[in-house]
Structure 1
């Protein structure tokens, strides 16, 4: 797992202290500069820039797309870490960025909370007939041991682990997380996925919690579920006080089949319009 973000008690998370040096030189414009009312903009909203130098209230930057260098006021751009952690951005601006045409359903970003100091919010673009309702927000809470969670039953040591999990399984969110906000999405047709032959000798009857969590227990051919899903199943067994020797072979097989069916149904939310879920934050 990655390192957790260090924060001082009762203070905003110190992003500069916790993030790697090679990721803090990426900026995203949050306004057109200069404004169209003054002249033709040099940089458009949502454009990614490489920070070259900091000079007082100005940044010297280079556009990723155009490759040109110029200056931009600090107030017109924000730092971005890991591609999805946007520093100092408000809810309204997060929605504006996620609604840009370069994003699609599942595009997301994480930002610091405006109303509750020391916490984060996950903002996700979702399909909606009403553009103003196409972004959902989820508050990310933090436990005293510095672990993060959106749902109390699922905790993560760091934000990277949280993002990785919800990229694999929607698990209560409106949809899977697919790409960071403003990521360069390929317009090429993806190659046909190869057919992977599963090992028919794998038997769920003999599976145990230790095997689910072990990275060496399953061969590449047998590893047909992600580590995140195996971890969720093992956690459910623990919370439900399920004993490995409690079930007979046939009953355990039926139990795991129901778990896998439940996980598959969560994936189907990508194709349907889901109602507002209990974790969505309408007040942040």
Structure 2
């Protein structure tokens, strides 16, 4: 994937470290989902938490984001267009996307790490959110 803010198999914990270290609302990145094979996660920081939205690739090569039950599902021809929409305020995310966290040579080597149940960090296991109407 040729997007500079796509981090591949970045763990949830490593993602939170990257997004929260500057304390800026609207930091975001894309990563592979750890729990849903083939899905992507759009992760965005807001008020010292990381909100994660699942993105699914459709059969036609388009992309859609998991939405609230009563919200109309939107389909985007590319990830770039999906991101572009959510860079605008009031599109259903907790905060609009402001600052992409780019891959660097230092974080290209991220790998999955085993997280024990004793590890503490801000978000819980069920913190995927849906786009609101």
Q: Same fold (TM over 0.5)?
A: yes
Deviation at 1:126, TM superposition (A): 0.3
Q: CA RMSD in A?
A: 2.4
What is the distance in 2 between the residues matched to 1:278 and 1:112? 16
State the TM-score, normalized to the length of structure 1: 0.33
SS in 2 for 1:98: helix
* 2:60 counterpart of 1:145: yes
Secondary structure of 2:37 counterpart = coil
Alignment size in residue pairs: 103
> TM-score, normalised on structure 2?
0.68
Structure 1 regions of 5+ residues with no counterpart? Answer: 1-14, 20-80, 184-275
Out of 106, 116, 131, the position equivalent to 2:26 is 106
After TM superposition, give the deviation of residue 182 of structure 1 in Å: 6.0
Structure with the bigger percentage of helix:
1
- Structure showing greater radius of gyration is 1
After the TM superposition, list the runs of 4 or more consecutive aligned residues in structure 1 that deviate by more than 6 angstroms: none
The superposition leaves residues 100-130 of structure 1 with CA deviations (integer Å, 9 ceiling, x where unpaired) of: 12x5101100101111111100000001xxx
User: 1:278, CA displacement in angstroms?
Assistant: 5.3
Please say if 1:122 is aligned against 2:42: yes
CA contact (8 A) 2:61 2:77 kept: yes
Match of 1:179 in 2: 99
Residues 207-218 of structure 1 mapped to structure 2, 5 A cutoff:
none
List gaps (5 residues or longer) in structure 2.
Answer: 104-126
Structure 2 partner of 1:219: none
Question: 1:278/1:92 Cα in 2 relative to 1: closer, same or farther (>3 Å)?
Answer: closer
